[in-house]
Structure 1
């Protein structure tokens, strides 16, 4: 990748905005949002601890991948290497026949998108974000960038200027989707910025589970996954978002997620980071109304010299609102994991808990945790706990005395440590996750 100046990068981004608007037949209001974000980039603060402003500008979003077909009827039409990647993510042939929807985004293009017509008629709408902007402009305009400000950071400004791809998910009031929906992001090119925008709208008393998978071939270097998710969970709705990450070490990931949880609604957000590269969860926020509930689960496997920074800020703003922010990390080699969590109790009878557990597998591994509890009422119940340590020798000795090798005993302890947080992962994915954990602990990755 050749070096470019800041001014050259800005000119390329401006041209990319024009290309996106023309190719996507974008309405003027969306193009205006992009151009305002590009203007905001210069004055927006830069808070990323890893990527400099100059490096950020190098990640120029590209519209498509050469050599991919324009239209795909089934998974058999995918390029062999891409189908192999999906198989490694755990999507079995049997499951592919039963799930009603599957969307795959490779770099910046959604290339496979199939949904049963009967579910669309029932009120399940899943569209590429570009198509949703054209078909449902009023709905998208009402929800697009309503939880973010383009000028709050260089990351949000950059994403807003060049967002490309992503999914619009709408679940009609009262509709309960009985199968998981799947969304996959694959980066196949170095020096690429993949910036999908995801809008989730769960109407009152609806239910769904969205599984997002992220990966890239091991040869991809110095790429950026900069997704933004805005979730609107209506009163009484039940929503799950599970993110499975298996990025190579040179991929920078900057997920930005924010959600509004309505009265009596539940939102469970689980992130499984088996390959996290250089990851920094960019200022996630969750607003919880009366008797609403939010649960953030972070499962991190740190290897090599990876750097992972994750957390979330909850605002318990309705009476009886509750939230849990829990993380478990297995940290190996010279990797660093930092967890941050803030819970703000702003209404009576609210409850919140932060927990962080970590296994250090190396003397050079680093774990830092920064919990924050803020109460503006006198009857809130807020708590936090943390436990950081190594595998106890007596546990290892006991398992080895039962005939296990040290490697197998270590694998068993690590899997047992992480297992409680994996309870809601579908079995097809769970098998693959366990395989990756075994390989990592044994040094096979």
Structure 2
């Protein structure tokens, strides 16, 4: 993989300064100044991940993060702006704070702000300016070594523990040549946090022949604003599989991870589950640029809205060269008259001899299905719940059996309240 843009501190700072007031094209605008920018590394390190409070443990379990580290190859835990715990249980993986990684690997600077640009909007700009102003970086660095196949997943958690905090993180994930890496990331807030802002920049790089599965579960407080910015670059014969789950209330989230299938026979698969509750505004989508012959992408989305929630479900497939294929599937269920789902599928073909397709459907629960189940002694409420659970099922093939079972468990736990 050739990185087209070399990291330059002065240019990043200049670009970020110009974009510090630039509104994002999608999602509600947020006044960043309403949130506190806490000092990086202000909190004490933990000697043991299991030393966190019981309330925090319970919150982390809901997003797939186990403080006992059972069945894990590594762990990373950031609270507010501080990396307070990390551990490494495998010799095929590197994991550390991204600032420490920069000190160890000088070549890592070439990966910063390459898959995500600092002037994308004011959220990326703010993250870059925080890095420049403080001279330190928060976030994780995860790297699978060449020709390794670690089956046990790495777990990483971004946790907000204080009220009105703006949490920023800049994460770098690299799957080296012919390696296999599984990553579970969980994002959550403490019980006493009512409002906060999370801005997560994640840049992912897959080298030739590598495979990365990235399963993300969000469980935020009702007044939290969330603005992740993610870019993925995929080389020859590499595969990226992304599972995203959000079923808890959130004030607003806007996320549009973008995969660049730059390698021959590269592949990107995005699967997402969005459950809108209360007055949440959820604007989530996935985008894939098919830039090399034989590259493929699938985007599959399932959305359920209830209460007064609003869901914008987006997908964008762009074929830029011949001999590429992509499919986009967006289905939604509207469970209340006061909620809304807006599906936005986009296909873009700028070359001949390619195949792009999409299907989208939004509606209500089929009354015949309800009647069928109630005729067999199941209550109407239980019948509706069964139908919704079935609708939100995710095809998790391609994962190791143990990880597939755990991912299904996270899905089941997430949809309990829907």
| Aligned equivalent of 1:299 | 273
> Radius of gyration: which is bigger?
1
Q: TM-score, normalised by structure 1?
A: 0.84
Q: 1:128 aligns with which of 94, 97, 117?
A: 97
Question: How much has 1:357 moved relative to structure 2?
Answer: 0.5
Relative to structure 1, the CA distance from residue 284 to residue 85 in structure 2 (aligned partners, 3 Å threshold; closer, same or farther) is closer
Cα pair 1:348 1:379 within 8 Å, conserved: yes
Question: How much has 1:283 moved relative to structure 2?
Answer: 4.3
SS at structure 2 position matched to 1:328: strand
Question: How much has 1:377 moved relative to structure 2?
Answer: 2.1
Q: 1:236 aligns with which of 202, 205, 209?
A: 209
Give the distance between the partners of 2:278 and 2:77, measured in 1 at CA: 29
| Aligned equivalent of 1:76 | 50
User: Gapped runs of 5+ residues in structure 1?
Assistant: 1-28
| Aligned equivalent of 1:17 | none
Give the distance between the partners of 1:347 and 1:48, measured in 2 at CA: 27
Give the distance between the partners of 1:360 and 1:420, measured in 2 at CA: 19
Q: 1:336 aligns with which of 310, 313, 324?
A: 310
Cα pair 1:253 1:276 within 8 Å, conserved: no
Q: TM-score, normalised by structure 2?
A: 0.89
SS at structure 1 position matched to 2:322: coil
Question: How much has 1:280 moved relative to structure 2?
Answer: 3.8
Task: Please list, as runs of the form range in 1=range in 2, the aligned pairs for 1:7-406 lying within 5 A after superposition.
Answer: 32=10, 35-36=13-14, 39-42=17-20, 44-47=22-25, 49-52=27-30, 55-63=31-39, 70-91=44-65, 96-116=69-89, 119-120=90-91, 122=92, 124-136=93-105, 138-162=106-130, 164-275=137-248, 277-288=250-261, 289-406=263-380
Cα pair 1:259 1:285 within 8 Å, conserved: yes
SS at structure 2 position matched to 1:318: coil
Relative to structure 1, the CA distance from residue 205 to residue 132 in structure 2 (aligned partners, 3 Å threshold; closer, same or farther) is same
Q: 1:434 aligns with which of 402, 412, 416?
A: 412
Give the distance between the partners of 1:220 and 1:158, measured in 2 at CA: 22
Higher relative contact order (CA 8 A, sep 6+): 2
Give the distance between the partners of 2:392 and 2:366, measured in 1 at CA: 16
Question: How much has 1:260 moved relative to structure 2?
Answer: 0.8
Q: Give the CA RMSD over aligned residues.
A: 2.3
Cα pair 1:37 1:160 within 8 Å, conserved: no
Give the distance between the partners of 2:62 and 2:208, measured in 1 at CA: 37
Give the distance between the partners of 1:276 and 1:262, measured in 2 at CA: 36
Relative to structure 1, the CA distance from residue 238 to residue 244 in structure 2 (aligned partners, 3 Å threshold; closer, same or farther) is same
Cα pair 1:276 1:308 within 8 Å, conserved: no
Cα pair 1:320 1:347 within 8 Å, conserved: no
Relative to structure 1, the CA distance from residue 276 to residue 168 in structure 2 (aligned partners, 3 Å threshold; closer, same or farther) is farther
Give the distance between the partners of 1:222 and 1:85, measured in 2 at CA: 16
